[in-house]
A = this chain, B = another copy of it.
């Protein structure tokens, strides 16, 4: 069971995400976040060094949760395609359940705040997946290209298709996910002969 303090910290965390999503970084003042979390502005400063720390910490926290969720049940011994599919399904499930987290990350990632963050902690969780991709490349299952190019097709479509702002109309039904995944796989797989 959580201590009363942890509850307060969680309340501040949730209030931050809610407010930033609703009114943006600029308008989400410490005072407003405090009110939303039902604490005094001063209280926030007992948990976070300053506003920047609050925003960055919240981002990192989400990234961690998302990374573990995405890698849940990942099995290195499975075929690469199945592994990748697992990550896709996990990701869509996590995003569907945590739209607010996802939206916060999107906004944060494209802001100057992002430069302050060291992503290594959360990317570490993906390590097994990275290794699997590299192995696949060596085995000529998938293309041997820069890692960033690979993920542009293998992973980024997930976030693009989940982004309410970018893709207003598509509902990511099970069928749509399946099709999109096949497209991703076609993109990265070394199938031409």
Please give the residue numbers on chain A whose beta carbons come within 8 Å of chain B beta carbons, in ascending order. Answer: 21-27, 106-107, 109-115, 143, 145-146, 148-149, 152-153, 156-157, 160-161, 165-167, 169-170, 176, 179-180, 183-184, 186-189, 191-192
A146 to B169, CA, bound (A): 9
Q: Can you sample 11 A-B contacts with CB below 8 Å?
A: A24-B25, A24-B26, A24-B113, A109-B110, A111-B111, A149-B180, A149-B183, A153-B157, A153-B184, A156-B157, A186-B192
Question: Within the complex, which residue of B25, B115, B167 is in contact with A25, where a contact is CB–CB below 8 Å?
Answer: B25
- Nearest B residue to A144, CB-CB: B179
Contacts of A170 in B (CB 8 A): 146, 148-149
A172 to B153, CA, bound (A): 15
Question: Within the complex, which residue of B106, B184, B186 is in contact with A191, where a contact is CB–CB below 8 Å?
Answer: B186
Known contacts A110-B107, A153-B153, A187-B153; A161/B148 CB under 8 A? yes
Chain B nearest CB, measured from A135 CB (Å): 19
A149 to B156, CA, bound (A): 12
A17 to B27, CA, bound (A): 19
Q: Return the 6 tightest CB-CB contacts between A and B, nearest first.
A: A26-B26, A187-B187, A148-B167, A24-B112, A183-B187, A110-B110
Max chain B CB contacts within 10 Å: which of A22, A145, A184, A188? Answer: A145
- Nearest B residue to A27, CB-CB: B112
A177 to B129, CA, bound (A): 25
A107 to B108, CA, bound (A): 9
Max chain B CB contacts within 10 Å: which of A24, A111, A169, A183? Answer: A183
Chain B nearest CB, measured from A13 CB (Å): 20
Contacts of A107 in B (CB 8 A): 110-111
Contacts of A111 in B (CB 8 A): 24-25, 107, 110-111
